[in-house]
Amino acid sequence: MGHSSLDKIIALQRNPANIRNLCILAHVDHGKTTLADCLVASNGIISSRLAGKLRYLDSREDEQIRGITMKSSAISLHYKNGDQEYLLNLIDSPGHVDFSSEVSTAVRLCDGAIVVVDAVEGVCPQTQVVLRQAWLENIRPVLVINKIDRLITELKLTSQEAYTHLQKMLEQVNAVTGTLFTSKVLEERAEKEKEEEKEGETSTGDQVYDWSAGLEEADDSHLYFSPDQGNVVFASAIDGWGFSIQQFAHIYSQRMGIKAEVLLRTLWGDFYLNAKAKRIMKGAQAKGKKPLFVQLVLDNIWSLYDAVVTRRDKEKVEKVVTSLGVKVMARDSRHSDPKVLLTAICSQWLPVSQAILSMVCEKLPSPLDMAAERVEKLMSVGVQRFDSLPEQTQDLKRAFLQCSSGENAPVIVFVSKMFAVDTKTLPQNRQRPLTQEEIAQRRELARQRHAERMAADQTAAESHKDITHSGNTPQQCQPEGLSIAKIESLTLKDSKPEEEEEQRETFIAFARVYSGVVKKGQRVFVLGPKYDPAQGLSKLSERCNASDCVPEVPHLSCCSMESIYLLMGRELEELEEVPAGNVLGIGGLEECILKSATLSTSPACPPFIPLNFEATPIVRVAIEPKHPSEMPKLVRGMRLLNQADPCAEVLIQETGEHVLVTAGEVHLQRCLDDLRYLFSKIEISASKPIIPFRETVVRPPKVDMVNEEVGKQQKVAIIHQAKEEALQGHSSGTLHVDPTGLVTLTTPNRLATISVRAIPLPQEVTCLLESSSELIRTLEQVNMSLREGKNLDISLGTLEAITGLKAQLESQLQGRKWRNTVERIWAFGPRRYGPNVLLNNVEGYERPSVWQCLSRSNNVGEARAQATILRDFDNSIISGFQLATLSGPMCEEPLMGVCFSIERWDIQSSVPPQNQDSLKEDSMSHQALAESKLEGGSETSARAEGTAAVPSQAKFKPEAASAGCHGPVSGQLIAAMKEACRHAFQAQPQRLMAAMYTCEIMATAEVLGRVYGVLGKREGRVLHEEMKEGTDMFIIKAVLPVAESFGFADEIRKRTSGLASPQLVFSHWEVISSDPYWVPTTEEEYLHFGEKADSANQALKYMNAVRRRKGLYVEEKIVEHAEKQRTLSKNK
Ligand SMILES: Nc1nc2c(ncn2[C@@H]2O[C@H](COP(=O)(O)OP(=O)(O)OP(=O)(O)O)[C@@H](O)[C@H]2O)c(=O)[nH]1
Ligand SMILES: [Mg+2]
């Protein structure tokens, strides 16, 4: 990078009004990086001839080979728009679903986005996702419709058809933004109403709102994409052209003498030119006239392509060239590839960089225009309301809005990811060209050294002569030995740092300054995601400096920003300081930041809300080094990988396996490559992907495997069988299963008895719980702090969301069986927010509900007063439930969609035996199950006497005697609860749930059959198929089990010769309908499936595969009835 442009960028960084921070977002392969190339070429960083071919921002080798972007990277460009100079910090993001976390990291640092859509493919799944992400982060998008050339050369549309096609596409894009916007307006309106209601029902009591009132009031015109709004550019990045209708309005207003404003309004839309009247009229479609856009814009482009590419008409080309006033070099016009000539003409006539950059400068906001709403959202820690934050923290909002670079402005920086670069390529270590003086100096030095060496050689030769002359061998040896040792030590010294150096990857933080000036070497506070500014402020003074000696505050540390860089795509440029409003790279933070963080000089600054990732990491593999001795290197490498990737997770399982969790197959491949060649630099081997399953229970099926109705008798028989099996497993009498599936279990010390029943949750409830897991987690946090007696100011939105969840649950859990269940929910699990429910059906046992935060003012005191012995052990029950739901009995995978209802719970306090008499009073029974009460009673006395050292009783029930050594009751209760849940689960028909991907495949008619073939082979299910309008493409939407998905994309690509490439997105969990424990019981079933019936049972296969992987017992008979194999030879 030249000095002049670096200086220019540094100067521009100081003027936030002329800075634009933007990213390029799109579905995979819609041409983001190609477009970025054109913009980069406009700054002379790459040659304009190579623009589009180089893909400059895809700097990794695998990105170039695969042709897809995997990491987002930034580059700073300058652009002169009119008389103003602008600085554009541009971030190119990946479009593949596997890397959507990289998109989140890019979007957070920007104020605007260029959304690119392929003119042929139109709105694709990732297009919707990125539009949503832009929405969630409150950044403003502009639209580029790319690859218009494909409409001409591939689809061979006429200009009129192309216009209709483009119109439709624009509608599609606007439909997506429309839904986002409507939901937001309605939400805001509801919030406003609520607040007004709260403020006082007296004054505004009788105001009536129409449901659409909010929608009409809000000005949404800037939210929709429309060429006449100036936020749409039509382009072909590969051919280097692009235009907005402003450009054409400008051209034609001069040529035709029509006002530019009039043209601006009419160039896009149903208008036509009436040549006779010399007027622009409405209603082109109705009158069958050419719309203005076709006549004045598209026709020109179409005829240019026709002349240059299709017909290669030299004369016409010359005419066009002279009429457009562009210059074409002779070698371009003589080139065998007509595209070269086309690019040469187009890039001068309608340069794409100019169209896009001027739109960006005019339509996207500068850092100064940051909306107050966005700031509040960024600063709202956890569930707290913005106005409940400390005053100093609220004051910081002003700093955000001012985006000031003054000396007194607090420094606020957000780091959205860490990326690794080779230490050698850092600007500090890069070789710079030598000046003349330095060259002369070096020459002189070399000359001196040479002279010295010559002199030394001479003296050495002389001394050698002396030694040989004297013939004294020991003397001769000594210096030699010495010198060898010296050399060794020297090489040792040399090689050691070199090795370290070689391994070193330097981590650079990808960040943005929101306020203040970041200076090299400055010390700042690093605020972890859980840092609470109120707590920080109570321990530190507001003026406290990060370089002072700071007392310990949780989630707060100090760090110095050792170096500061300008991000220039593949290169970095070292800077001394960066003012507010810019994107930058910061070195020296790898010790204090894992993936993302907030940095500030003020302890009042809250941590920014976490990035929202759209991708779910789901593909896991176990990794080990090829040579076991290299384990430490692998561990280090995995640590670095974890830091360098926003989405990858690295875990060490209890089994000691090192597990890598990634978002998909492509992401996995990239992570493995990174480990191999970058971070560990050793050979590694990865296991086959570990596929996650869920375990669940279902209602007893009504038909058997051959579709015959299951008779009542038989059903009972099955349950009896299950019961027997369950009882066989437990020889002691502590377990009891009744025919309805109620499991009663007593702890080994006979102090507590629990009865649990497992009930399948309705599917929509499971879905709801699964999708609201974040909310449930928040709810759990709130409950936790309520239990600790803290008072939290929960934001209105959160409270509303919780109320909404409760109402939804209530409406979905209808019917006699579920009456009042929602109020009685005890906990969710596993991990306290999973999709399983624990129900309190114990008669007479009251505990604070999980919804207590909704009505907490009147509930807390009451709940405390009720603390009983049962309440003391409440947590043990929850823990047991969490353990049971974390790993089920089928193959130790988490449960899903199961409701455990506790119907009875007895406990006796574990008082020492001298209090024998009081035992009975402590004993509490909440259900009058006569027999079990009797049983419980006798057990109690047995236990009491046993511990009071009455030997005869102890013999009678030896386990009761050792109650004391069974440990505290809570531990036993946890284990018993876990066991009870497992048995209750097993008493119901069990099923496995498989993770499912959805995929959208775009394929032409001729390869459609093959796509279906591959889908069918992999147990995929086609949801729907439609033809894309105006093309010969079909869009197939299908679901596919994750277990069958490995190699799917490759297979499809191979079978269709690269014409179709699917993208797999995790969508949901689905119950596998077959019963893994099923064995044929009726005659028909025997006939159908044979005796072993193991051929068709997919669920059993999955289950056994998981069990085998986990080293669990697998019941498998390879040969059941062995028969001697006979060879049927001819001779017999
Ligand atoms: N016909 C045509 N092809 C284009 C155009 N722009 C890009 N392409 C091609 O589309 C393919 C994908 O381009 P990229 O720029 O890598 O797409 P991307 O959006 O960066 O892809 P990801 O980063 O992987 O999401 C390349 O083969 C380009 O040559 C265009 O305007 N017309
Ligand atoms: Mg790309």
pLDDT category, 860, cuts 50, 70, 90? very low
- Mean pLDDT of the region 788-799: 73
Helices (H), 684-753: 712-729
Inter-CA distances, 322 with 247, 318, 333, Å? 19, 6, 14
Q: Which amino acid is at 707?
A: N
DSSP annotation of 546 reads T
Q: Which amino acid is at 150?
A: R
CB 986 less than 6 A from any atom of ligand 1: no
CB 602 less than 6 A from any atom of ligand 1: no
Q: Identify the residue with better confidence: 895 or 932.
A: 895
Q: Identify the residue with better confidence: 1089 or 314.
A: 314
Point out the ligand nearest to the CA of residue 154. Answer: 1
| Residue 752 bridge partners (DSSP) | 907
For residue 841, report the phi and psi dihedrals to the nearest 5 degrees.
-110, 20
pLDDT category, 432, cuts 50, 70, 90? low
Average model confidence (pLDDT) for the chain?
A: 79
Cα separation, 239 vs 503, whole angstroms: 42
Residue 998 has pLDDT above 80, yes or no: yes
CA 459 from chain center: how many Å?
70
Over pLDDT 90: what percentage of the chain? 22
CA of 53 to the centre of ligand 2 (A): 12
CA of 235 to the centre of ligand 1 (A): 12
Cβ–Cβ < 8 Å for 234, 32: no
- Mean pLDDT of the region 1048-1066: 79
- Mean pLDDT of the region 585-597: 88
Residue (of 124, 99, 170) closest to 1037 by Cα position: 124
Burial class (CB in 10 A: 0-12, 13-18, 19+), 514: buried
Q: How many CA atoms lie within 13 A of 430 on its CB side?
A: 11
Q: How many CB atoms lie within 10 A of CB 899?
A: 22
Q: Is 234 strand, coil or helix?
A: strand
What pLDDT sits at residue 237? 92
CB 25 less than 6 A from any atom of ligand 1: no
Helix H or strand E encompassing 995: strand 990-1004
Residue 105 has pLDDT above 60, yes or no: yes
Q: How many CB atoms lie within 10 A of CB 281?
A: 15
- Mean pLDDT of the region 29-33: 92
Q: Identify the residue with better confidence: 388 or 78.
A: 78
CA of 937 to the centre of ligand 1 (A): 77
CB 1080 less than 6 A from any atom of ligand 1: no
pLDDT category, 199, cuts 50, 70, 90? low
Instruction: Give residue-wise pLDDT tens across range 493-511.
Output: 444 444 444 557 889 999 9
What pLDDT sits at residue 919? 37
What pLDDT sits at residue 1027? 82
Q: Identify the residue with better confidence: 817 or 239.
A: 239
pLDDT category, 594, cuts 50, 70, 90? confident
Residue 866 has pLDDT above 60, yes or no: no
CA of 689 to the centre of ligand 2 (A): 27
Cα separation, 232 vs 115, whole angstroms: 10
Instruction: Give residue-wise pLDDT tens across range 980-991.
Output: 999 999 888 899
Looking at ligand 1, which atom is closest to the CA of residue 236? 31
Residue (of 106, 21, 56, 37) closest to 569 by Cα position: 56
What pLDDT sits at residue 490? 41
Residue 211 has pLDDT above 70, yes or no: no
pLDDT category, 24, cuts 50, 70, 90? very high
Cα separation, 464 vs 456, whole angstroms: 12
CB 316 less than 6 A from any atom of ligand 1: no
Q: Where are the beta strands (DSSP E) in 606-751?
A: 619-625, 649-652, 658-662, 684-686, 693-697, 735-737, 743-746
Q: Which of 222-226, 686-690, 1124-1128 has the lowest mean pLDDT?
A: 1124-1128
Residue 35 has pLDDT above 90, yes or no: yes
Burial class (CB in 10 A: 0-12, 13-18, 19+), 554: exposed
Dihedral sign from CA coordinates of 532, 534, 540, 543: positive
752-760 and 898-907 beta bridge pairing? antiparallel
CA of 80 to the centre of ligand 2 (A): 26
What pLDDT sits at residue 912? 43
Cα separation, 275 vs 288, whole angstroms: 15
- Mean pLDDT of the region 126-150: 90
For atom 30 of ligand 1, the residue with the nearest CA is 147
990-1004 and 523-527 beta bridge pairing? unpaired
pLDDT category, 474, cuts 50, 70, 90? very low
Probe residue for ligand 1, chosen from 24, 25, 29, 60 as the CB with the greatest number of ligand atoms within 8 Å: 29
Structure tokens, 531: 């840092």
CB 1063 less than 6 A from any atom of ligand 1: no
What pLDDT sits at residue 511? 94
- Mean pLDDT of the region 757-765: 90
Instruction: Give residue-wise pLDDT tens across range 435-452.
Output: 778 888 888 888 888 888
Over pLDDT 70: what percentage of the chain? 77
Residue 197 has pLDDT above 50, yes or no: yes
For atom 2 of ligand 1, the residue with the nearest CA is 147
| Residue 393 bridge partners (DSSP) | none
Q: Rounded to a whole number, what is the distance in angstroms from the first to the last CA of the chain?
A: 89
Cα separation, 106 vs 72, whole angstroms: 7
Q: How many CB atoms lie within 10 A of CB 394?
A: 17
Residue (of 402, 417, 398, 526) closest to 109 by Cα position: 417
Point out the ligand nearest to the CA of residue 236. Answer: 1
Residue 888 has pLDDT above 80, yes or no: yes
Rg of the chain over all Cα atoms, to the nearest angstrom = 36
For the chain, what is the total number of helices (H) and then of strands (E)?
A: 40, 34
Q: Which of 529-533, 619-623, 784-788, 1094-1098 has the lowest mean pLDDT?
A: 1094-1098
- Mean pLDDT of the region 79-87: 90
Point out the ligand nearest to the CA of residue 238. Answer: 1
Q: Calculate the dihedral angle through the C-alpha atoms of 634, 640, 643, 644, rounding to the nearest 10 degrees.
A: -110
Looking at ligand 1, which atom is closest to the CA of residue 27? 25
- Mean pLDDT of the region 823-837: 88
Instruction: Give residue-wise pLDDT tens across range 713-755.
Output: 444 444 445 445 554 444 446 788 888 888 888 888 888 888 9
Residue 1016 has pLDDT above 70, yes or no: yes
CB 550 less than 6 A from any atom of ligand 1: no
- Mean pLDDT of the region 198-225: 53
Residue 143 has pLDDT above 50, yes or no: yes
Cα separation, 129 vs 133, whole angstroms: 6
- Mean pLDDT of the region 240-266: 87
Cβ–Cβ < 8 Å for 126, 99: no
Q: Identify the residue with better confidence: 752 or 464.
A: 752
Residue (of 263, 247, 229) closest to 351 by Cα position: 247
Looking at ligand 1, which atom is closest to the CA of residue 52? 29
DSSP annotation of 963 reads G
Structure tokens, 330: 């002779």
505-515 and 412-422 beta bridge pairing? antiparallel
DSSP annotation of 1129 reads -
Cβ–Cβ < 8 Å for 559, 592: yes
Burial class (CB in 10 A: 0-12, 13-18, 19+), 973: buried
What pLDDT sits at residue 179? 82
- The vertex-105 CA angle with 102 and 106, nearest 5°, equals 90
- The vertex-142 CA angle with 139 and 145, nearest 5°, equals 140
Cα separation, 329 vs 341, whole angstroms: 9
- The vertex-542 CA angle with 538 and 546, nearest 5°, equals 105
What pLDDT sits at residue 1095? 61
pLDDT category, 1002, cuts 50, 70, 90? confident
CB 26 less than 6 A from any atom of ligand 1: yes
Instruction: Give residue-wise pLDDT tens across range 769-780.
Output: 988 888 888 888
What is the residue whose two structure tokens read 């004054």?
203
| Residue 836 bridge partners (DSSP) | 829
pLDDT category, 950, cuts 50, 70, 90? very low
Cα separation, 1061 vs 1063, whole angstroms: 7
